[in-house]
Amino acid sequence: MKDTFMNDILREECGVFGAVTNSDEAAGITYNALIALQHRGQEGAGIAVLKNGSILYHKDIGLVNEVFTPQVLEHLPSARMAIGHVRYSTTGTNSRENAQPMVTEYLKGRIATAHNGNVVNAAEIKTKLKEYGCDFAATNDSEVVSSLIAYEALSKEEIEDAVAEAAKQLRGAFSLVVLSSKNKLIAIRDPWGFRPLCIGKNAHGAAIASESCALDSAGFDFIRDIRPGEMVSIDDSGNVKSRMVLTSSHIGFCIFEYVYFSRPDSVVDGMTVYEARVNMGRQLAKEYPVDADMVCGVPDSGLEAAVGYAEHSGIPLVSGFVKNRYIGRSFIFPSQTQRDAAVRLKLNPLACNVAGKRIVLVDDSIVRGTTSAKIIRSLKHAGAKEVHLRISSPPFRHSCHFGTDIDSEENLIANHLSIEEIAEQIGADSLGFISIEGLKAACAGCNLQFCTGCFSGLYPIDIGRHTKSQFE
């Protein structure tokens, strides 16, 4: 069971990357890209390479630089094709078996699959594959996807057709990168467009990534986003082919990619994440103005929205915290006393700036409320006169079933308390959440329609009897 304190911190999902290059440096390129995607998952990492028709891989739990130590990096095979993955477990336990890429052998060869998302009908597919004789070592939906592709490849001449046929059977969120022993790298995005996926090129080859920031770090120029339902295939010469294989009457890009998940320097589906977040702050200032002395953002996810709030309101933007950037995965404490002090260890108020001040505090979300309460308490302990909390997402009232670790509804504070009651519970002098329509307006530069199910309870697809614990 996950720690209550840690459950109050919203988790990123996963990040995927794949590269084809003529330089035999695909593994190192992929490593650089995964470092850039580290914000999307901190529980596990892995790289698979294609070498002389064989797929070799290394994966483990931990951060990218923990899994790929200098000694491991030194022994990664030189290769022209590779894929990589950073993981946070929204389904399945955190174990080496569940780290990705998932590597699957079948009669015609071998594939490696990296997946970002959550397939809501994975349990049914797994049952069917077991009837066909498939074995499973992991407990996540990504292994199910990889096995399904391998099963379809048994009856298909081309691996692209196998990926397309498998994808037609999946319901839910999936941005996939598949490495085939048939000298192909294939990427596909679900027809609803839940999770981001983009393509880049340089003089040496082509690459696929969850975010454009990974293309930048790996030395590729961002070309475009992969469209919902589109499959892209790259051969060992770097030739890129594309075709639409999936369709849907509804598009549901996760709007929280702009609020929190994606890096500010990424361009996602036509809009810069930084611009979207600044717009959110401006919209918050319109919807929830307040008389105050300073605006500050909660590092790091509230900083850009704080810029927008200060700009629109005319209230000075002031640093309110010093962030300890040397606390990593070990930021999990065994005792309640240590957990109570955890926020202050990571974020310490600048008393010289906040003492005696009426503060507009800007953050990205409230899950359980415990973290917000501790941050507000620390500001008032440092002498803040008032703390007015402004949130750049609407209240979380419903679970996410498409790859975001939003807690069960009964644990979401906004599911059972009014905004006034939340403010009282967390110690805020006032509280304002951006409206759903206001958030959409802030992200109007996006080319896609949005999924706002975690706020409204209205999802682009029917989730059926899926539960978040099916693969736990």
Q: For residue 121, how many other CB atoms are within 10 A of its CB?
A: 17
Beta strands 102-106 and 172-180, pairing class: unpaired
Catalytic one of 14, 134, 254, 296: 14
**What is d(CA 284, CA 206) in angstroms, rounded to the nearest whole number?**
40
| Bridge partners, 118 (sequence order) | 173
Q: Is 446 a catalytic residue?
A: no
Q: Cα–Cα distance between 184 and 178 in angstroms, integer?
A: 8
Around Cβ 329, how many Cβ atoms within 10 Å?
Answer: 11
Question: How many Cβ atoms sit within 10 Å of the Cβ of residue 462?
Answer: 8
Q: Which residues are catalytic?
A: 14
